[in-house]
Chain A
Amino acid sequence: MAEATATGTTSEEWQPKIVMFCCNWCSYGGADSAGMGRFQQPPTVRVIRVMCSGRMDPVFILNAFLEGADGVIFSGCHIGDCHYVNGNYKATIKYKFLKAMVNELGLEDERLKLDWISASEGERYAQVVTEFTEQIKKVGPSPLKPEGVI
């Protein structure tokens, strides 16, 4: 089974590859508490830690898609709780631009998501990951996936 997951070829079902950007102060802690609380979640997410959701650059997300990600989530502290005062406001503006861009480009709307998860919301973290994975499974592999990448 371990080998099967590493190559991505499980016999039963295709597993999407999801890149999740978590902010250092809230969502990354949320991922930690999800593990500590032993909340079940699919093993589809690759977490990348950034200091703040305001650090998110469109380049990161576009590159993730080009490298073969089927979906991208970026996540930070709830509005008003940002460690850097207003980083997550800036993230929402970038998100609006990216969302419009991804839609015009012809990628499905479901492939990009912005969500707020605080450090104590382990259960919510697991829920967001589970729901997003289900969503991506419905839309299938990304059309931007390079040849040979599973």
Chain B
Amino acid sequence: MDIGDCYVGWATDEDIRTRGASGGLVTAMLAAALEKGLVEAVVVLKKIGEFEAVPIVTSDPEEVKAAAGSMHSVPIVLSRYLEYGTKVALPAKPCDARSTIEQAKRGQVDIDTTYIVGLNCGGTMHPAVTREMLDVMYKLDPEDIEGEEIDKGKLIFETKDGKEHAIKIDELEEEGYGRRESCQYCAVNIPTMADIACGNWGVIGDLAGKGTFVEINTEKGIAILENAIDAGAVEITPADDKGKAIRAKVDGAMMNVAAAANEKHLSPIEGSHLDYYMNALKDCINCGACKTVCPVCACGETAKCTEFSSASDTYKMSLFHLVRFVHLMDSCIGCGQCTDVCPVDIPLTHIYQRFAVPMQEEFEYKPGMDMTTPPFFGVDLIED
């Protein structure tokens, strides 16, 4: 097994294979890593309803198996749950993987003991917005929903009486529902920065829907997959070229959609920029929630943004936000958590991206993609 190899794999356990998504490979791999002692803990998503899941840290393989088939949740801020150096495996969307790598750069997470099992991601949905969407767009009771699925550009909900209700995603997003805004313009769908990238794209033929496509990216990726094979928990077969091509095609199509959304959402501000930003931030109540959940902020309780600003300031703009704008210019990964938690609905991710994207493009620096470039001083010190 070498770095760059692609396989299609599935769990040997019948129960995990049926309950888990796409053959349950990821669940089986995580459970095997715990059982064989490769890691001490695993982060899994525990379903707390049809629309929501919370990340939990567990050392119990049964709990990992029970979490099979969980949906995507909010990005994971690994350093807040675990002590530095804990041997841990976590299933990660591209933004989770990127935030973990950014935390590792800042000395918050030990990358050598962290196994990142990447999952393909085409976007996530906000639980509260989804409930509202079901009511407004689908005319359904959110409590009646039993399952959801995305097929051929349509978002399909299945109700308890077995009926399927489908609406085009484009149509939903036009109305302001559907995926989170940050997910709409996120162009990283395959987690190439993770140790191992898993997903159902590129699984064809008899295995379609029953297997997971796996790409090995690092030595750690080899270790966690081989460990699962040795434990007899998963079986793999080499992926064929057709599958690889289909996977690349899906990724390319998703990137085009993201580029279009990027143009739509981040189009230049009309009129005064200052008025736009002052108006956007005028409702801020200084709660600090956006900073608390930010996966790339490693400052802790005492930070420049909080220490030098106070709710009693009478400035035209909050210094807290201005400092965070600069702070995130090199490192914002656009995960969307700040917008999600904001109690007064300020589109913070959108604003941070406006500052961050041009800068990251100028320095050709994409945060969280690898460990080689440090933050901020990533630029060569001896230039011009």
Is this pair of chains taken from one and the same complex? yes
Q: Chain A: residues with CB nearer than 8 A to chain B?
A: 57-59, 62-63, 66-67, 86, 89-90, 92-93, 96-98, 100-101, 104-107, 143-147
Binding site for A on B (CB under 8 A): 272-277, 304, 308, 313-317, 319, 322-323, 325-327, 329-330, 354-355, 358-359, 362, 376-377, 379, 381-382, 384
Complex contact B308–A93 (CB within 8 A): no
Give chain B residues whose Cβ lies under 8 Å from the Cβ of A106: 272-277
Closest Cβ neighbor of B305 among chain A residues: A59
* Residue in A closest to B274 when the chains form the complex, CB atoms: A106
B323, B326, B384: residue with the most chain A Cβ atoms closer than 10 Å: B326
Asked if B316 and A101 sit within 8 Å, CB to CB, the answer is no
Shortest CB-to-CB span from B343 to chain A, Å, is 24
B358 near A143: Cβ-Cβ < 8 Å: no
**Cα–Cα, bound, A90→B381 (Å):** 7
Across the interface, which residues of A come within 8 angstroms of B304, CB to CB?
57, 59
- The distance from the CB of A91 to the nearest CB of chain B, in whole angstroms, is 11
- Residues of chain B with a CB closer than 8 A to A67's CB: 315
Do B329 and A144 have beta carbons less than 8 Å apart?
no
Q: Is the CB of A146 within 8 A of B330?
A: no
Q: Given contacts A89-B381, A93-B379, A144-B317, are A58 and B274 in contact (CB under 8 A)?
A: no
Contact partner of A97 (CB less than 8 A), chosen from B315, B322, B330, B384, is B330
Contact B359 A100 (CB under 8 A): yes
A60 to chain B, nearest CB (A): 10
Taken together as a complex, chains A and B put the C-alpha atoms of A92 and B379 apart, in Å, by: 11
Chain B residues in 8 Å Cβ range of A144: 274, 315-317
Chain A residues with CB below 8 A from B322, complex form = 62, 66, 101, 105
- Tell me if A104 and B272 are in contact (CB < 8 A): no
Measured between beta carbons, the chain B residues less than 8 angstroms from A101 are 322, 325-326, 329, 355
Looking at chain B's contact residues, the main secondary structure is: helix
> Could you tell me the distance between the alpha carbons of A57 and B307 in the complex, rounded to whole angstroms?
14
From B308, B359, B377, give the contact of A63 (CB < 8 A). Answer: B308
Which residues on the A side are within 8 Å of B319 (C-beta)? 59, 62-63, 66
A67 to B314, CA, bound (A): 9
- Whether the pair B274, A143 counts as a contact (CB closer than 8 A) is yes
- B377 close to A93 (CB less than 8 A): yes
Bound-state Cα–Cα, A101 to B356, Å: 9
The CA-CA distance from A86 to B382 in the complex, in Å, is 9
Cα of A70 to Cα of B252 in the assembled complex, Å: 47
Shortest Cβ distance from A69 into chain B, in angstroms?
A: 12
Q: Which B residues are CB-close (under 8 A) to A86? A: 381-382
CB closest chain-A residue, reference B327: A58
Residues of B within 8 A of A146 (CB): 314-316
A residues less than 8 Å from B330 (CB atoms) = 97
Nearest Cβ on chain B to A80's Cβ, whole angstroms:
10
Closest chain A CB from B166 CB (angstroms): 40
A66 to B314 CA separation, bound complex (whole angstroms): 9
Q: How far is the CA of A29 from the CA of B232 in the complex (A)?
A: 73
Q: Decide: A107 and B274 in contact? CB cutoff 8 A.
A: yes
Q: Is the CB of A59 within 8 A of B308?
A: yes
Give B9 Cβ to nearest chain A Cβ, in Å: 44
Closest to B304 in A: A59
Contact A66 B377 (CB under 8 A): no
Which B residue sits closest to A145, measured CB to CB? B316
Q: In the complex, A98→B355 CA distance in Å?
A: 11
Nearest CB to that of A98 among chain B residues?
A: B326
Chain A residues in 8 Å Cβ range of B384: 92
Residue of B nearest to A63 (CB): B319
Instruction: Give Cα A67–Cα B308 distance, bound, in whole angstroms.
Output: 13
Given contacts A104-B354, A106-B272, contact A62 B323 (CB under 8 A): yes
- Which 5 A-B pairs have CB atoms at the shortest separation, nearest pair first? A106-B273, A106-B274, A66-B315, A58-B326, A62-B322
Q: Which residues of B contact A143 (CB under 8 A)?
A: 274, 316
**Given the complex, which residues of B lie within 8 Å of A63, measured CB to CB?**
308, 319
Q: Which residue of A lies closest to B355 (CB)?
A: A104
Task: Tell me whether A97 and B274 are in contact (CB under 8 A).
Answer: no
For the complex, what is the distance from the CA of A98 to the CA of B326, rounded to whole Å? 7
Could you pull out 20 A-B pairs where Cβ atoms are within 8 angstroms? A57-B304, A66-B319, A89-B382, A90-B377, A92-B384, A93-B379, A93-B381, A96-B379, A97-B329, A97-B359, A101-B322, A101-B325, A101-B355, A104-B358, A105-B274, A105-B325, A106-B276, A143-B316, A144-B315, A146-B314
* Contacts beyond the supplied A58-B327, A104-B358, A144-B316: 19 A-B pairs with Cβ under 8 Å: A59-B308, A62-B319, A62-B323, A66-B316, A96-B379, A97-B326, A97-B330, A98-B326, A100-B355, A100-B358, A100-B359, A100-B362, A101-B326, A101-B355, A104-B273, A104-B354, A105-B273, A105-B274, A146-B316
